[in-house]
Structure 1
């Protein structure tokens, strides 16, 4: 298991405080190693680091294989303990932990992968492999057969490594070695404390997360319950469902009448604009007629007036017919433009009324119930044909022969 998985398991446990409070002291006196670790995560991390370090070393002597196997065994036991026991109660955890703690604190001839003795023995194994056993026995304080030359060489090399003589150089080396060991132990202690704090924060974060998830689930359940109670009781609450159905019908009617209402509104604007254009054309045409008549009256030739009193009245009759035709044509144009103008204003007002009637009909649907007969009457008013006023009592221009026929008929 990785350190991240260990933290996650501890965070899921109901006894996370216990996992963060367990403590072990690991001592290997033959290499002057002593370390106190607090927190299951810190212990597991230390064992994992030792195993990883041993696996990276190459050409280690066979005498150190027991150390590598020891940390491999410890890691397996810790993984198995957490996987199988993380949901146990505190009392059961205490009982099972005693065995694991004894294995971790077991005082055997074990080496850490980063100790100076491990490096020394590995170097001896690479240079003088036959002397490795003698050096190893010297470090772990085990009797060895010094009659064997290789064992003797190994013991002497270990002696030189451990203590050459009582010179100042040796004393300085011991002090530096002691200082370095102290720094390493302090660093491990700080790492152990940091690991415990990190695991504690993760546990608290996981608990807070679960707490908020439960609150959200509770809130959701309450709101769903309130909604279901309200919905189930709508049959008894003054026709709520009928009101919803009426609103849906009103919305459907709005969708069906929205386009016609927009059409009537736009048509009203266009017709009003057309009416004002016709009005402007009427003004221009009237001004043109008045100006034309003035020109005819003021600039007509003198012989036209005298021809009315002469014996030959053909010229007078000819000019009279031309003048009457011109006046009739002008009157017809003015009448046509007037009809277009008033028709445009009339249709614009009609479109505005249809647009207003549409929204009035929708408001009736929303506020009250409209009977089928009234609905048909309103729809007939909305979509009935509008009278333009253009063809009613329409007639052509009055020509001179009309006057003659009227006189003959009389």
Structure 2
């Protein structure tokens, strides 16, 4: 029964408190006290539940007695007349204070043992109660059937419980017999612990060795990683420098490529024009000689030296000289264009070679100076005698380029 269903009146609770209930936990001599009627009711309900399945023999008598106490408490709780409620409460208290069989409480060792024996055999519990708790007015073991093995067993349990020294004597031989097994087991445990200790030590040493190896691997890995990172940084720096250098030379390289094609086309034009002029000049000279041979008067005039023949000779000479000069000049222009085209091509190839050497780390600072002087020196046109490309000093343009590329 839960606390929510307990419904004693306040007046009845006050009456119970005035009674100051005290009773022995039979069959022991411990005293139980209650000041609260609700708590006392819960105590009786718990006892009723404990003995609820015991309905045979003397154990059934215990159950009936507890039920009777609970019934009186239920009547006291449900009765409207306070005087009648008090009478029922007093009856329940008198039954609790009986201090003899069948007032046996589950809180006692005999009570718990009685329940265990009853669950094994009701007759065994009957013999147990007959020996320890004879009914009022009857001698011990009254009604015991000595031909019933279970009853005699119950009497024996009661005798051993009442005389603990007998139980001790009975168990000493068993204790001695088991001591040897315990010693053997202890020896086995000690041996096993020693083996475990040795194995633990071996595992510990192996673990230390493996830890050392792992640390060595970690150190090597870190060293290799740092080296790889350093190499990668150097490589990236070199690639950046190479890319920067390529960006710096890409515009000149494109210029030289365009210049090469332009000069080559110009050279072809001048060559074609020289051929045409030469052909025209030769044609005019041939035609003029052919006409002079046909005109005898002219030949006669030529054989006779006078002002006209002299003027004619000078004109012919000037015409031939101008023609030869013009043809020679056109040839020089053509040769100069082809020369500049080849120079631009060489500078373009030198740029590619320079970038390739930079990629392979094959260019020193002095070599870079030489290469840059060659790349950015003035080209020789070939039209003027003694035309050459001056050397660019290191403290000039090349020096500045090297300073910028080294940053």
Specify the structure having the higher radius of gyration (Cα). 2
TM-score by length of 2: 0.38
Which has the higher relative contact order, 1 or 2, with Cα contacts under 8 A spaced 6 or more apart? 1
